[in-house]
Amino acid sequence: MASKLRTCFVCWNLSGFNCVNLSNGNGRIVRVSFPASCKMRHRTTLSSLQHKRQQIKPSTEVGLRQNKDEEEDSEVSSNNDDSVDNTNETKDSVDNTNETEEPLVININGAELAKQLSGKQREDLLGMIRNAEKNILLLNQARVRALEDLEKILAEKDALQGEINALEARLAETDARIKAAAQEKIRVELLEQQLEKLRNELAEKGGTEARYEELRDLQNGDLRDANPLSNKGIIHSLTEELNSLRTENASMKNDLESFKTHISVVKNDDERLVALEKERSSLESALKDLESKLCSQEDVSKLSILTVECKDLSGKVENLQSLLDKATKQADQAVIVLQQNQDLRRKVDELETSLEEANIHKLSSDQLQKYSELMKQKINVLEERLQKSDEELNSYIQLYQKSVKEFQDTLDTLKEQSKRKALEEPVEDMPWEFWSQLLLLIDGWGIEKKISVDDASLLREKVWRRDRRISETYMAYKKQSEPEAISAFLGLLSSETSQGLHVIHIAAEMAPVAKVGGLGDVVSGLGKALQKKGHLVEIVLPKYDCMEYDRVCNLRAPLYWEIFVHKGLNSARICFTCHNFEYQGTAAASELDSCGLVSQNLNKSDKMQDNSARDRVNSVKGGIVFSNIVTTVSPTYAQEVRTAEGGHGLHSTLSSHSRKFVGILNGIDTDAWNPATDAFLPVQYNATDLQGKVENKQALRRKLGLSSADIRRPLVACITRLVPQKGVHLIRHAIYLTFELGGQFVLLGSSPVPHIQKEFEGIANHFQNHDHVRLILKYDESLSHAIYAASDMFIIPSIFEPCGLTQMISMRYGAIPIVRKTGGLNDSVFDVDDDTIPSQFRNGFTFVNPDEQGLNGALVRALNLFKNNPERWKQLVQKDMNIDFSWETSSAEYEDLYLKSVARAKAAKRA
């Protein structure tokens, strides 16, 4: 509108008119036009033109005043300035004309003029004046029309302004409604979650009809207070869901029937299977026979070496045997001397008795006295001999014990030596084909990333050393599956490290066999890191139906009381690591009884009783109360869960156990997440060579059907579980905002919450063939790698986030994180514009408030930096890719905690 007015004001030219600039009486110049046919070659005084303008002044002034008002807030003044220059030019050209033509002076008084001019000149002049007057008339008419147009336009403008005001008022109203609706939505989401929980519980109980009743109650009860509009929607969707449940129920009955038929077929199959099993075992025993024959041929050469060694050992054993015989003889002699001594002792005793008898009978004769003295002397001699033989006997016994000990020591040393020799001595008798096959096998595992580069080179070293144990492991490998063999080979490496702890993780997830989110990554990442430090790590998982069993070896899913207690675990220290306090596993207290526990003892406020429902027990609370150490996955989250807002009802329990509670930031498995070796990527790359990242971006665009026209168009990504915790409303907002700001957006995620899944399916359909937005609503590990590698920015607007791994993975792949400052995000992402943080730590974009304004600020800043300062952006990417997010530091912290706890337990035992 404003530009239309400006055009009207500046260009009053009607077609076929030439332009002249005139003062509008306010010191400004306006440009008016004349018909091209009218040639004003003679000087015309300004006063005569002013005189003419007097005639049209009223209407002109109105027009100019109106124009002036508009001029003040428009760019038109600059055009007028141009006109000033043009005026001078025009004036000059009039002057120039004057130089070549005869000068004419035109007075206002026509009669005087007539007197001074000849007839012809007068006629010409009059003709010119008439023409000029006609032109002026035309000009005035044009002015009047233009002024009329202007008035119309102004009226239109007023009307439009009115409309704008009304629209703005409506906009404000809509904003307010949207805000109210957003609050309502959060509330409804909470109700939906409750509903979902209830549904699950009902499904467990199996009472479908009762479930319908509950759902109806929930519709009529819990939702009664909510917004009536939202309630209508929810009730409608619940009714639809009930109907679909009924249909599902009917089809389940049909399924049951067909399942029964299937079971009878399976029974027949079972019988056949037993017969086949028998046949297989007889074949296996035949195979073993054959194998043993084969092996014996291979072992002939080994046998000869062993025979020589055996002879050598036999010689040594014979020597020892003779030593032993000697010692035994000496011992026998000692025993004989001992017996003699005992006889002598008996005799001495007899003599003493007889002496006493003699004393009693008071034999006073000299003979008797002499005899008695003689006897005494004899006794003394005998006693001396007895003492001597005792000493001799002791020396024999000592000698014997010494020989036995020497024998035992020599035997032990020999055993140790022969064991070490057997292990250390290279296996020389194996053909070179054997070793090259072994090398090929290790190389293959390395190339397929089944073992790490470091492990592969350590194993190769052993092959070059002709290590006996690796050859034995290889022989045994032929009878095992590949995963079993790999773990046996890796066992060779870990057994070389110092004696460590026996760490058992009891967890609900473990990547890659059972992963839903970050917990799976953490359990395997931390486990591997602890294994590398020399600890024996076992992981106990629920035996899920969906588990990838082909990737599990030595499967045993064991009961604590049946297995671990018998292995001496009754003295174990327990560390409970909670990955998310939102999921607490509450259950009816009575369910403890079915696990062999006494619910009466445990359902107490200082034990497992849920803090908000007295008849329920809370497994996470139990974990806190009964563990020696409690950890969670970031220092900030450890603080947050101690508050009423963040603790999900457990803040009081955590506060009273705060002395054993600590937050340790998670790491990521840097072997699995490495853009330089990632087999899922079309092109590998690293921080010093980012061309591969560009190629990954183009490849992803092609794969998802996004426009590749502008290579520099920023790509924003999000990979997440779509649950309220992740800020789904902000993710939705980010999709639209990115697109509006000229970026592309890719979302990979899925939701266990039906209404969220439905909502995002709607958005995905809306953008189905869009050039710049794509939503992929499923779990896809390989696609997730491709997205991390392709994206420029990665968005994580979580409401709360215990740790979060995607920000670390995205940084490792050169995608700059845009995150809300909460939990682990607050401990790992630092804003590039935050002066309070040392610049070397600044690595992303953060915002505080979990609302659209907060997100807008961070996203706009990121897009601006990407667009306006490519060099700084590149430096940021390289810096983020080089940050160490490995488990190295965190696993050392866990190790330290474990060791200290075990040491405390030992000290307590000693005391």
Binding site for ligand ADP (CB under 6 A): 517-519, 521, 719-721, 748-750, 779-781, 784, 803-806
Bridge-based pairing of strands 816-820 and 845-847 is parallel
C-alpha to C-alpha distance for 497 and 620, rounded to whole angstroms = 35
C-alpha to C-alpha distance for 862 and 867, rounded to whole angstroms = 9
Question: Does residue 842 come out as left (phi exceeding 0), alpha (psi in the -120 to 50 range) or beta?
Answer: beta
Q: Is the bond leading into 512 cis (omega within 30 degrees of zero)?
A: yes
- Measured from the CB atom, the residue of 146 and 633 that comes closer to ligand ADP is 633
On the CB side of 82, how many CA atoms lie within 13 Å of its CA? 8
Least distance CB 806 / ligand ADP (angstroms): 4
- Measured from the CB atom, the residue of 422 and 516 that comes closer to ligand ADP is 516
- Measured from the CB atom, the residue of 501 and 748 that comes closer to ligand ADP is 748
From the list 659, 666, 662, 639, the residue with the least C-alpha distance to 651 is: 639
Least distance CB 720 / ligand ADP (angstroms): 5
Least distance CB 725 / ligand ADP (angstroms): 7
Least distance CB 633 / ligand ADP (angstroms): 8
- Measured from the CB atom, the residue of 289 and 780 that comes closer to ligand ADP is 780
- Residue 673, classed as helix, strand or coil, is coil
Q: Which residue is nearest to ligand ADP (CB)?
A: 518
- Measured from the CB atom, the residue of 80 and 807 that comes closer to ligand ADP is 807
Least distance CB 781 / ligand ADP (angstroms): 5
Least distance CB 632 / ligand ADP (angstroms): 13
Residues 6+ apart with CB under 8 A from 286: none
Least distance CB 577 / ligand ADP (angstroms): 13
Contact 31/115 with Cβ under 8 angstroms? no
Angle at 134 between CA 133 and CA 136, to 5 degrees: 60
Least distance CB 734 / ligand ADP (angstroms): 16
Between the two ends of the chain, the Cα-to-Cα distance in Å is 91
Which position has the token pair 């706009």?
860
- Measured from the CB atom, the residue of 720 and 843 that comes closer to ligand ADP is 720
- Measured from the CB atom, the residue of 517 and 814 that comes closer to ligand ADP is 517
Residue 655 belongs to what H/E stretch?
helix 651-656
Counts of helices then strands in the chain (DSSP H, E): 26, 15
C-alpha to C-alpha distance for 543 and 336, rounded to whole angstroms = 70
- Measured from the CB atom, the residue of 135 and 634 that comes closer to ligand ADP is 634
Contact 459/451 with Cβ under 8 angstroms? yes
**How is residue 646 written in tokens?**
């963040």
Beta bridge partners of 504: 538
Least distance CB 195 / ligand ADP (angstroms): 22
User: Crossing angle of helices 46-72/76-100, nearest 10°?
Assistant: 160
Least distance CB 809 / ligand ADP (angstroms): 6
Sign, CA torsion 396/402/403/404: positive
Least distance CB 209 / ligand ADP (angstroms): 35
- Measured from the CB atom, the residue of 517 and 675 that comes closer to ligand ADP is 517
- Measured from the CB atom, the residue of 748 and 877 that comes closer to ligand ADP is 748
Bridge-based pairing of strands 17-23 and 29-35 is antiparallel
Contact 632/578 with Cβ under 8 angstroms? yes
- Measured from the CB atom, the residue of 63 and 667 that comes closer to ligand ADP is 667
Backbone angles phi, psi at 105, to 5 degrees: -115, 125
Least distance CB 575 / ligand ADP (angstroms): 20
Contact 727/820 with Cβ under 8 angstroms? yes
Contact 41/103 with Cβ under 8 angstroms? no
- Measured from the CB atom, the residue of 719 and 863 that comes closer to ligand ADP is 719
